[in-house]
Amino acid sequence: ERGIKNIELSGGTDFYEGIEDDLRALSGKYNLTYACHAYFPPPREPFVVNLASCNDKIYRQSIEHYEKCIRMLKRIDCKFLSVHAGFMVEVGTNEIGRKLSSRIVYEEDSAYERFCNAYEHILKECTKNGIELYLENNVLSAENYEEFEHHNYLMMTDYSSILKMREKLDFNLLLDLGHLHVSAQTLRRDFRDECSKLKKYLKWIHISENNGISDEHKTLKAGSEILEEFHKIYVQGLNDLTLRRLVAVFIDFMILCGIQMCVGMCGFFLTADIWMQDGKKFMDVAWCINICSFFLMWLYFFFSDYCENIGVGKKIMKIELVSEGQKLTVNKMLKHSILKWISAAVWPFSIAYYFMKKEMVYDRYLKIRVRDKISEV
């Protein structure tokens, strides 16, 4: 009724038998798109999910939770899942988002090894089921930092610890700006500097307001430090990808002009004698040459999607096109190449639309978006 179509399923809910049926019914009624975060669906018996746990029971429960979650996401056609980085300390269900009191601390190398193994297992399950997986940074409050005598027992709280994880694991970063705001103040880091250094890695953002002391999850305020950084990251990132895609299209266009010029020149030299002797026959041959050049254009568009090395523009600009978080299927490549070919035929209108909407005419139909590949290098 309010026009909201994208909903993230997250914690703070209680288990009940009909939750999956309700999600399917709501999705069908309102045409919703779901993303799933961390502690969803709620387990029958509450526990704290920790993929870095050295407690075998919690570790097994955590992995099983996400295996069950992935099966449910497949059934409700949800394409996105995000999980939290691990904790190197045992956390009770009554301590989430609050002061930690546990004195059970895990050995760091073992915790990281367990987390990486669990994450890679979950990633494989997600990939098999057409789901894109993201990893979110934790929040370190001053209260917990002091409680543990200035030891940071949470993974991925700031730039240096996120980079430490990237050295061990390849992942899509979900950057929670509220978490980073608190952690930066706790660790005496510059929040703006942390955001600036992390923006090239992030793929998804969570945003809420807080006082920098605890993760309050308050509504956004105009002029706040968090909102200002979000604006810098989102608007600059969007404009950057928009420009890079446009340059990629221009590069491909110039390549196609070269191909058509070569075909035209070859056709001219091959048909020069025919033109001198029989004008009508020459026109027939010229039409055939034009059809061949247009066919070569479509073929280039298709194979530039099918084979990354052929897509010169996207390769130079370090971008790729994805649909619903996944690489394009062959069926979508065919549709995309045909629609791109049509758009190229009316390129002044296509480019004008792209500047106004920051997307191609066919992007919504094919559910296409541009993904940055620079951070994957």
Q: Please tell me the predicted confidence (pLDDT) of residue 155.
A: 98
Q: Please tell me the predicted confidence (pLDDT) of residue 202.
A: 87
The whole-model pTM stands at 0.71
Q: Please tell me the predicted confidence (pLDDT) of residue 19.
A: 93
Q: Please tell me the predicted confidence (pLDDT) of residue 133.
A: 96
Q: Please tell me the predicted confidence (pLDDT) of residue 349.
A: 87
Strand ranges for 78-214 from DSSP E:
80-84, 132-136, 173-176, 202-206
pLDDT along the chain (377 residues), means of 10: 85 87 93 91 89 95 96 94 94 63 85 98 96 96 90 96 96 96 97 93 92 92 91 71 83 79 70 58 68 82 83 84 83 92 85 84 89 59
Half-sphere exposure of 200 (CA within 13 A, CB side): 12
Instruction: With CA atoms as reference, report the closest residue to 252 among 192, 190, 312.
Output: 312
Contacts of 201 (CB under 8 A, 6+ apart): 162, 166, 173, 175, 375
Q: Please tell me the predicted confidence (pLDDT) of residue 332.
A: 92
Q: Please tell me the predicted confidence (pLDDT) of residue 232.
A: 81
Pairing type for strands 326-327 and 319-323 reads: antiparallel
The rounded distance, in Å, linking the Cα atoms of 346 and 26 is 40
CB of 268 within 8 A of CB of 292?
A: no
> Positive or negative CA dihedral for 227, 96, 122, 129?
negative
The SS3 of residue 200 is coil
Instruction: With CA atoms as reference, report the closest residue to 53 among 15, 81, 92.
Output: 92
Q: Please tell me the predicted confidence (pLDDT) of residue 268.
A: 65
Q: Please tell me the predicted confidence (pLDDT) of residue 276.
A: 53
**8 exposed, middle or buried (CB, 10 Å; 0-12, 13-18, 19+)?**
middle
The rounded distance, in Å, linking the Cα atoms of 248 and 252 is 6
> Positive or negative CA dihedral for 55, 42, 73, 359?
negative
CB of 64 within 8 A of CB of 121?
A: no
Q: Spell out the alpha helix ranges (H) of 218-322.
A: 225-277, 279-306, 312-317
The rounded distance, in Å, linking the Cα atoms of 111 and 256 is 53
Instruction: With CA atoms as reference, report the closest residue to 90 among 60, 54, 66.
Output: 54
Q: Which run of H or of E encompasses 334?
A: helix 330-345
